[in-house]
Amino acid sequence: MQKEYFKNIDETLISEVLPNGLKINIVPKPQFSKSYAMFATNYGGADRRFKLSGQWLDTPAGVAHFLEHKMFDMPDGNALSVLSSRGASPNAFTSSCMTAYHFESTSQFDENLRTLLTFVSTPYFMPESVQKEQGIIGQEIRMVEDTPGYVLYYNLLKCLYSANPVRDSVAGTVESIAEITSDTLYHCHKVFYNPSNMTLAVVGNVDPDAVIAMARGILPSEPGEVPESDFGGEEAETPHQSNSKATMEVSAPQFLFGSKLNPEKKGLPRLRQVLIGEIALRLLFGPSSPFYTRLYADGLLNGSFEYELDYTAGTAMILAGGESRNVDGVMNELNTEIAKIKTDGLDKIQFENARKSHYGTQLRILSSFSSLSQELANGAFADYRPLDVFEEINKINLSDVRDFITDNLSPVKLALSVVSPLERETKGQ
Give the pLDDT confidence of 207-236 residue by residue, as tens digits. Answer: 999 999 999 999 999 999 999 999 998 999
Q: What are the C-alpha distances in Å from 406 to residues 10, 64, 337, 338, 339?
A: 36, 36, 10, 6, 8
Q: Is the pLDDT of residue 427 over 50?
A: no
Cβ 318 vs Cβ 258: under 8 Å: yes
Per-position b or e across 187-217, b if 16+ CB within 10 A of its CB: ebbebbbbbbbbbbbbbbebebeebbebbbe
> Of the residues 203, 229, 255, which one is the last residue of a structural domain?
229
Q: Is the same domain home to 195 and 294?
A: no
Overall residue count recorded for the chain in this entry: 429
pLDDT in the model for residue 423? 83
Neighbour count for residue 17 (Cβ, 10 Å) = 15
Mean pLDDT of 40-49: 98
The verdict on residue 372 lying in a domain is: yes
* Tens-place pLDDT, residues 338-360: 999 999 999 999 999 999 999 99
Q: Is the same domain home to 152 and 300?
A: no
Q: Is the same domain home to 200 and 293?
A: no
pTM over 0.75: yes
CA 228 to CA 197: how far, in whole Å? 11
* Tens-place pLDDT, residues 244-292: 999 999 999 999 999 999 999 899 999 999 999 999 999 999 999 999 9
Q: Is the same domain home to 183 and 217?
A: yes
The verdict on residue 129 lying in a domain is: yes
Q: What are the C-alpha distances in Å from 51 to residues 66, 128, 170, 177?
A: 21, 29, 20, 21
Q: Is the same domain home to 195 and 308?
A: no
More confident residue, 427 or 423: 423
Q: Place 429 in a pLDDT band, splitting at 50, 70 and 90.
A: very low
**In angstroms, how far is CA 255 from the centroid of its own chain?**
21
* Tens-place pLDDT, residues 119-137: 999 999 999 999 999 999 9
> Of the residues 179, 202, 229, which one is the last residue of a structural domain?
229
Q: Which residues are catalytically annotated?
A: 68
Q: Is the same domain home to 221 and 260?
A: no
| CATH code: domain of residue 283 | 3.30.830.10
The verdict on residue 74 lying in a domain is: yes
The verdict on residue 336 lying in a domain is: yes
Cβ 116 vs Cβ 83: under 8 Å: yes
Neighbour count for residue 46 (Cβ, 10 Å) = 25
Kindly provide the residue ranges of all beta strands, DSSP E only, lying in 75-175, ordered along the sequence: 77-78, 89-94, 99-105
The verdict on residue 317 lying in a domain is: yes
Angle at 162 between CA 420 and CA 145, to 5 degrees: 40
Q: Is the pLDDT of residue 366 over 80?
A: yes
Q: Is the pLDDT of residue 424 over 90?
A: no
The verdict on residue 36 lying in a domain is: yes
CA 360 to CA 286: how far, in whole Å? 14
The verdict on residue 234 lying in a domain is: no
**Nearest alpha carbon to residue 42 among 97, 95, 96:** 97
> Of the residues 179, 204, 229, which one is the last residue of a structural domain?
229
pLDDT in the model for residue 52? 87
Specify the DSSP element, H or E, that contains 2.
strand 2-6
Structural domain including 368 reads 243-421
**In angstroms, how far is CA 417 from the centroid of its own chain?**
20
The verdict on residue 235 lying in a domain is: no
Q: Is the same domain home to 216 and 266?
A: no
Cβ 408 vs Cβ 338: under 8 Å: no
* Tens-place pLDDT, residues 82-123: 999 999 999 999 999 999 999 999 999 999 999 999 999 999
Q: Is the same domain home to 209 and 260?
A: no
- Number of domains the chain is built from: 2
Q: Place 425 in a pLDDT band, splitting at 50, 70 and 90.
A: low
Q: Is the same domain home to 195 and 319?
A: no
* Tens-place pLDDT, residues 160-209: 999 999 999 999 999 999 999 999 999 999 999 999 999 999 999 999 99
Q: Is the same domain home to 258 and 214?
A: no
The helix/strand/coil state of 258 is strand
Mean pLDDT of 360-382: 98
Q: Is the same domain home to 176 and 305?
A: no
Q: Is the same domain home to 253 and 312?
A: yes
Provide the angle, in degrees to the nearest 10, between the axes of the packed helices 369-382 and 348-365.
100
CA 21 to CA 213: how far, in whole Å? 14
Average pLDDT, the chain: 96
Per-position b or e across 357-390, b if 16+ CB within 10 A of its CB: ebeeebeeebeebebbbbbbbbbbbbebbbbbbb
Beta bridge partners of 105: 35
Angle at 123 between CA 118 and CA 129, to 5 degrees: 125
